[in-house]
Structure 1
Amino acid sequence: MNERKRHVLDAARRLFLDNGFADTSIQNILDEAGISKGTFYNYFSSKNECLISIIEESRETSTILRDELAADRRDGPELLIDQLLVRLRMNREQQLIRLYEAILHSGDAELRKFMKTVHLAELAWLERRLTEVFGEWAEPYSADAALMHFGMLGQYLQFAPDVTSSDELTKRIRFVIRRTEALLRDMAEHREHLLEADQFNERAGAPPLPSASQTAREIRRLAAYLSPADREAGREYADFLSAELEAERPRTSLVRTIAGPFRKLFDGTPLEPEVRTVMSAVWQLLGTADGKPGKED
């Protein structure tokens, strides 16, 4: 994502929040961003796609932050709590709930389908994480538990919409995670569940796997644009990451450790959004079932 597209998205986000999505026209966005209609359509095919890009960017960022949290920590309920907090804080800080509500009330089939996919992907992520955190015994019951978790947490947050501090949000997430574990163990004891494993993933549709070789090339290219003060470290990180991504058996634990420091070298620079997208591809490659990045070009 280049700076100009970033500028257009920021302008659109302000208008959607201030005026509402339905009452914001493409012309409003053109005027706010100071761009021509041709420039807008060079980036987005419609106002819907512009809104989808705003939400996708937030999802991409939260995914990276969640994975970076796990890079150097022991897995367990406390890590899961912190990962859930990442998404909650981002939703509240960026006022995304208002955008979600605008979509749900819009009646627009395209946007509603998109939000359904977003919700299914989040359920699929939590289903997987519950199995990773509590053990393989939980796998047959994790889909039901994920669904119940989101229902419980959503109601607690709706009951106290003014709660914004990390400590208070963490308190609620921890409470719900403990109840979720109890539900998992009860379902396992009675061998009872309604949903089949991996159902959310199947319904959401798995995203296409990025190209490992293309991602490696992008990492090396981006490192060359770092400031002189960060360029040496950036190139060392980039050389390591790209070599591992292109290896037949990449050392995924080491890649996870280096990915975060490399991304953070670009914080506050014009390349930050582009680097975030590339690093999202890295984490997606690391998250494949066998842990091996693909070799496709």
Structure 2
Amino acid sequence: MNKRKRHVADVALKLFVEKGIQQTSIQEIIELANISKGTFYNYFSSKNDCIAEILEGLRYDASQLRMEMQMGRDPNDRQIFIEQISILMKLNEERNLHAVFEAIMSSNEPEHKKLVLHHRFHEMEWLSHRFVDLYGEDIREYALECAVLFFGMMQYVMFTVRISHMPHSVERIVNVLLSYIELIYPSMIDGDKSLINQSSLHFLRSNIDRRDMTLKSILETAAYLEKQDGFTEEQQDLFSAIVSELKQERIRKCVIQPLLKPLQLAFSQTPLEMQVANFTNMVWYFLKGI
């Protein structure tokens, strides 16, 4: 983002925080930024586009700072990890973005919500990968759940800190919460217990981007699965029944929905478990919309 475009985005963010997104008009952004209407629309096609640029700018700033922190240093260094997590929290606090996020998620604006979900999804994905860097391959299957737990704890700790006006250090909060994750994840591995698996990452991505929920994309996923070897008779019968029904001119939800859970269970603890879970999640979500 060039400097002038960044300036306009910063002005828009200031107004969004002060007045709220819905209460801020494009004309107010234009006047405060001291630009023409043509200049605004040269930069942004809409207010949604402006919000998208603000979030993209935040991710870009955090990404650049994270790379600078890691350059020439050990990626497994816990202190670097703490600094990398802290930088986005600091940027959020400095720009008062938490207030904007809360307003968006409690609004009736699906496009705005999707932008925030994209932002949060990217952060969860980044944190999941960094957990694997730091703690090794053993945590990979549980990395997404650890990321969800970490961000959930962080959100409510920061909320409590803000409303109580407690003095705080972001690095200390991240350090302590990270130590909690370090106590939790060994028991997840040893007991083979998790609430969220990696297939949920695919479903989150699909949930955020509705284009992945078309019947065409579901059937393409099914075609890929059909090419895999080793289906048992039970697995093949369940899978074929669902796919056959999806190809009908009139798709009967009452036929498909009772088969989804048995299909997942039939592939439990097999090499295709995650792919089949992703497929059934996509089908379930698609059926909700018809």
Q: Tell me how far 1:97 sits from its aligned partner.
A: 1.1
Equivalence for 1:47: 47
Q: How far apart, in 1, do the equivalents of 2:8 and 2:161 lie?
A: 33
Q: Per the alignment, do residues 133 and 71 of structure 1 end up closer, same or farther by CA in structure 2, a change over 3 Å counting?
A: same
Equivalence for 1:25: 25
Classify the secondary structure of the residue corresponding to 2:45.
coil
Equivalence for 2:179: 178
Extract unaligned runs of 5+ from structure 2: 210-290
Q: How far apart, in 2, do the equivalents of 1:175 and 1:140 lie?
A: 23
Which amino acid counterpart does residue 196 of structure 1 have in structure 2? N
Q: Per the alignment, do residues 67 and 112 of structure 1 end up closer, same or farther by CA in structure 2, a change over 3 Å counting?
A: same
Name the larger-Rg structure.
2
Task: Output the aligned Cα RMSD.
Answer: 2.1
Equivalence for 2:60: 60
Q: Tell me how far 1:197 sits from its aligned partner.
A: 2.5
Mapping of 1:94-173 within 5 angstroms? Answer: 94-161=95-162, 162-163=165-166, 165=168, 168-173=169-174
Q: Tell me how far 1:59 sits from its aligned partner.
A: 1.1
Q: How far apart, in 2, do the equivalents of 1:5 and 1:107 lie?
A: 28
Q: How far apart, in 2, do the equivalents of 1:81 and 1:51 lie?
A: 28
Equivalence for 2:272: none
Mapping of 1:192-211 within 5 angstroms? Answer: 192-197=193-198, 199-200=200-201, 203-204=204-205
Which one has more relative contact order, counting CA pairs under 8 Å at least 6 apart? 1
Cα deviation per residue 1:236-265 (whole Å; 9 max; x = unaligned)? xxxxxxxxxxxxxxxxxxxxxxxxxxxxxx
Q: Tell me how far 1:37 sits from its aligned partner.
A: 1.8
Q: Tell me how far 1:20 sits from its aligned partner.
A: 2.0
Q: Per the alignment, do residues 189 and 159 of structure 1 end up closer, same or farther by CA in structure 2, a change over 3 Å counting?
A: same
Q: Per the alignment, do residues 178 and 3 of structure 1 end up closer, same or farther by CA in structure 2, a change over 3 Å counting?
A: closer
Classify the secondary structure of the residue corresponding to 2:197.
coil
Classify the secondary structure of the residue corresponding to 1:72.
coil
Q: Tell me how far 1:201 sits from its aligned partner.
A: 5.8
Q: How far apart, in 2, do the equivalents of 1:87 and 1:6 lie?
A: 18
Cα deviation per residue 1:61-91 (whole Å; 9 max; x = unaligned)? 0011112211122223222111111011111
Q: Per the alignment, do residues 3 and 88 of structure 1 end up closer, same or farther by CA in structure 2, a change over 3 Å counting?
A: closer
Q: Per the alignment, do residues 6 and 121 of structure 1 end up closer, same or farther by CA in structure 2, a change over 3 Å counting?
A: closer
Cα deviation per residue 1:35-54 (whole Å; 9 max; x = unaligned)? 22222111111112112211
Cα deviation per residue 1:188-237 (whole Å; 9 max; x = unaligned)? 11112232226436633799xxxxxxxxxxxxxxxxxxxxxxxxxxxxxx
* Percent of aligned pairs with the same amino acid: 32
